[in-house]
C-alpha cells in the first residue's frame, strides 16, 4: 500500500487525515523555544521532537508517519492533571477560553467523561510540547506544560494551537520572502529546525505571512550567541523583529486560520 503525503496546512496546519512522512532529526530531548527561566529540555516517553516542541511518535529511529486530523466538530475533550495549582489551572483554562471566544465557540474544549475515546491530557511533564492535531485513535493524548517555566498564557496558547493542528509560522514555503535565517547564529545541530515545507506539500490558506502569529519562532530561537537567528527583510515590517514569538494572544490571522481550518461560520 502506498502512503499518501498529507498536505500540511501551512499556517501550520495538517489538511487531512492522510499520512505525511517527517524525517526525525532531533534525538531524545529537545531544547525549548520560549526563552523562559526554569525550563527543562523537552522530554516525552515514546516520542521525539521536530521544530523543538512538536512531539512525534518514535518509528524506527529514522522517519515517522503520523496522522494529524482535526478534532471532530471542533470539540476537544480534555483533562488537567490534579497536581497543577488552582492558579495554574486557571491559566490553562484561560488559554482555552481565548480560543473558544475567538472562534465564537466553533472550537470548544470540554471536560472529558467516562465515554470519551480520545482526549487531550495536560500534564506537568518536562518542558512545553504537544503532538500535532488529534494524533491518537484512542486514549489520552499528552500536552506538556511544565509547572515551572511553561504555565503562561502565551505558552499554553502556542501548545494548544499545535494540538489543534498548527505548525510553526516560519515553515511556510514563502518564508524566505519575509525573513532571512541567520545560519551562522544557530546552535550547531539545530539548523534543521528552520526547514521549510515545499509548496507542493502545504497550503497558506491564502493568508499573508504573519510575524505576529502566536506560532512564530522568536527572532533568537536556537541562537548560539544571543544574536538573531531570524531577521525581517521587508522594510515595511522591520518593527516586528523584536516582537516575533513574544505575543501574548492569538493574532487576527491566527483566529482567521482557526476558523478556516475548522470551517467556522
Of 164, 191, 208, which one is at a domain's C-terminal end?
164
Would you say residue 93 lies in a domain? yes
Other beta carbons within 10 Å of 145? 27
pLDDT tens digit sequence for 33-66: 676 666 567 777 777 777 778 777 665 332 333 3
User: Out of 159, 169, 241, 256, which one is annotated catalytic?
Assistant: 159
Q: What is the pTM of this model?
A: 0.84
User: Which pLDDT band, with edges at 50, 70 and 90, does 12 fall under?
Assistant: very low
3-state secondary structure of 139: strand
User: Which pLDDT band, with edges at 50, 70 and 90, does 11 fall under?
Assistant: very low
Would you say residue 185 lies in a domain? yes
Would you say residue 25 lies in a domain? no
Any known ligand binding at 162?
yes
Separation of alpha carbons 61 and 190, rounded Å? 17
Residue indicated by cell numbers 486530523: 69
**Looking at the predicted structure, is the pLDDT value of residue 79 above 50?**
yes
Any known ligand binding at 158?
yes
Would you say residue 63 lies in a domain? no
Any known ligand binding at 153?
no
Q: Please tell me the predicted confidence (pLDDT) of residue 190.
A: 86
Mean pLDDT of the chain: 82
Separation of alpha carbons 64 and 56, rounded Å? 7
Of 164, 191, 209, which one is at a domain's C-terminal end?
164
pLDDT tens digit sequence for 149-208: 899 999 999 999 999 988 889 988 899 999 999 999 999 988 888 988 777 666 677 889
Cβ neighbours of residue 250 under 8 Å, at least 6 residues apart?
A: 98, 99, 102, 157, 161, 214, 258
Strands 118-123, 75-80: parallel, antiparallel or unpaired by DSSP? Answer: parallel
User: Is 159 a catalytic site residue?
Assistant: yes
Would you say residue 41 lies in a domain? no
Other beta carbons within 10 Å of 141? 22
Q: Is the dihedral of CA 109, 113, 117, 121 positive or negative?
A: positive
Amino acid at each position: 500500500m502506498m502512503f499518501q503525503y498529507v498536505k500540511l496546512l501551512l499556517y501550520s496546519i495538517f489538511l487531512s487525515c492522510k499520512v505525511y512522512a517527517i524525517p526525525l532529526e532531533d534525538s531524545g530531548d529537545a531544547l525549548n523555544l520560549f526563552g523562559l527561566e526554569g525550563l527543562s529540555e523537552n522530554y516525552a516517553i515514546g516520542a521525539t521532537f521536530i521544530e523543538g516542541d512538536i512531539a512525534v511518535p518514535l518509528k524506527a529511529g529514522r522517519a515517522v508517519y503520523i496522522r494529524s486530523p482535526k478534532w471532530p466538530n471542533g470539540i476537544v475533550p480534555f483533562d488537567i492533571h490534579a497536581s497543577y495549582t488552582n492558579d495554574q489551572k486557571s491559566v490553562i483554562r484561560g488559554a482555552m477560553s481565548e480560543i473558544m471566544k475567538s472562534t465564537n465557540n466553533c472550537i470548544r474544549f470540554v471536560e472529558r467523561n467516562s465515554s470519551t475515546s480520545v482526549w487531550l491530557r495536560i500534564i506537568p511533564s518536562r518542558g512545553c510540547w504537544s503532538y500535532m492535531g488529534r494524533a491518537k485513535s484512542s486514549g489520552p493524548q499528552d500536552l506538556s506544560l511544565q509547572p515551572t517555566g511553561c504555565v503562561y498564557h502565551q505558552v499554553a496558547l502556542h501548545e494548544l494551537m499545535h494540538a489543534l493542528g498548527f505548525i510553526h509560522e516560519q515553515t511556510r514555503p514563502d518564508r524566505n520572502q519575509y525573513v532571512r535565517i541567520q545560519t551562522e547564529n544557530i546552535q550547531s545541530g539545530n539548523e534543521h529546525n528552520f526547514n521549510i515545507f515545499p509548496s507542493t506539500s502545504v497550503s497558506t490558506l491564502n493568508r499573508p505571512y504573519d510575524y505576529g502569529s502566536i506560532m512564530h519562532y522568536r527572532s533568537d530561537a536556537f541562537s548560539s550567541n544571543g544574536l538573531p537567528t531570524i531577521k525581517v527583510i521587508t522594510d515595511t515590517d522591520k518593527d516586528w523583529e523584536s516582537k516575533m514569538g513574544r505575543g501574548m494572544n492569538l493574532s487576527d490571522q491566527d483566529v482567521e486560520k482557526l476558523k478556516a481550518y475548522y470551517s467556522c461560520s
